[in-house]
Amino acid sequence: MRIKEAAFLVLFFVVLTVTFSISLFEIFSSLFLILSFIAFFKERTPKIFKGAFIFCMAVYFFMNLLSVTQSGYLWTSARGVFKVLRQILLCLAVIFVLDSESKLKKIIQWILAVGLFISIDALAQGLTDVEFLRGRKMTPLLADVGRLTGPFHHANDFSAYLTVLFILFLSFSVISFQGRSFKKRLFYWVGLGLTASCLLGTYSRGAWIAVIVTWVIAVFIQKSRFLAVLLLALVFWTVFFTPPLVKMRLTAFSERNGGTFVERRELWGESIRMIRQKPWLGLGVNTYARNEPYYKSGKPNIDNQYAHNGYLQMAAEIGLLGLASFLVLLAVFFAGTLPVFANSPNAFLRVSGTGLTLGILAFLLHSMTDTDLHSLVLINWFWILLGIAWAARNQALWKSCPGLSDSHEVS
């Protein structure tokens, strides 16, 4: 068996284990990286890693490395730099291994299948209070009501994972009646229903907002009346049939003197004070939890070591220049993917690529109110998705201009 094909098979286990086991994920992702590097050096095709997107990754890594010079916790920051490097290499390895439409179809279908399985696990948790993969209990909401977590540590983490899955299932549902078999149509619609139910059961308002905003954007990008009608149906359901607990979570937005609003205001205030201390290069990558206790307002302390805003936390750790490098990386990613998918004559690449890219957008929007970009599980999930979407973009370009596939100069 070719080494590259072996790496592709290991990638299935990477996608599966990132949802429920950090230790197994570390094992399989390490094996995936080793096999990918061996295959890469045997094939000697470095041109695949040229272009603005790859350059922006290098700049982002350099800014993380540069922040170490400002750190008061050198070993902690050194470990942080290693993690960032590993995540970037994971993304590059995914781009390298997914070199055909056939592989992309298999891995995206696998992502959807794993998402369906995780959703069933979470809904079983709602019935029994304990899910069966990790034995996790629900995150408390009220005395007798919990929030679904699935195999994740917290409901908010699970909701971040679901934002991508829901948008991806939603995109496939648009073409579910265009020459698709009954089994595939059923799969997409069941997946959409289960991920929607789980999203509702997480009671994560940040995830709800991220999904709705992305859904509106999808309507305009995909020019789909079907998506618009579904969105209007959701609005109608929200206005007239919202369950009491969902309504309670939504009306809590108006509270200004208690609950989440006060917590977020305090946590974001800490981040801003940290940014003001060292605005350009930050206090050092991976040091937020170490520094945060020294930047509290003096009011009743919020017992939380994370900013609950990935961008503020990133600015606090690697500075405004580091945050800018990440935002430019994202801008290059979206500019390099969405137009390509929109103009692709290949239906699968157009739908799956657009759905995956918009799912990443939903994840990033959710990161404005939570810890997604600094969660060990979710940040790895993000970089894997980034690699898959860029690999799909490469395939879409190659399908449009077959001559490029020999030069590999599309990254």
Return mean pLDDT, the chain.
Answer: 91
| CA separation for the pair 284, 211 (Å, rounded) | 32
Find the distance separating the first CA and the last CA of the chain, reported in whole Å. Answer: 27
pLDDT at 393 over 70: yes
Specify the pLDDT at position 390.
97
* Residue 262 to residue 256: CA distance in whole angstroms: 7
Tell me the C-alpha distance between 88 and 386, whole Å: 10
What value does the CA radius of gyration of the chain take, rounded to a whole number of Å? 21
What would the two tokens of residue 235 be? 């609005």
148 has pLDDT over 80:
yes
Residue range 266-282, pLDDT digits in tens: 889 999 999 999 999 99
- pLDDT for 62-75, tens place per residue? 999 999 999 999 99
- Can you tell me the mean pLDDT for 84-108? 97
Provide the pLDDT confidence category of residue 405 given band limits of 50, 70 and 90: very low
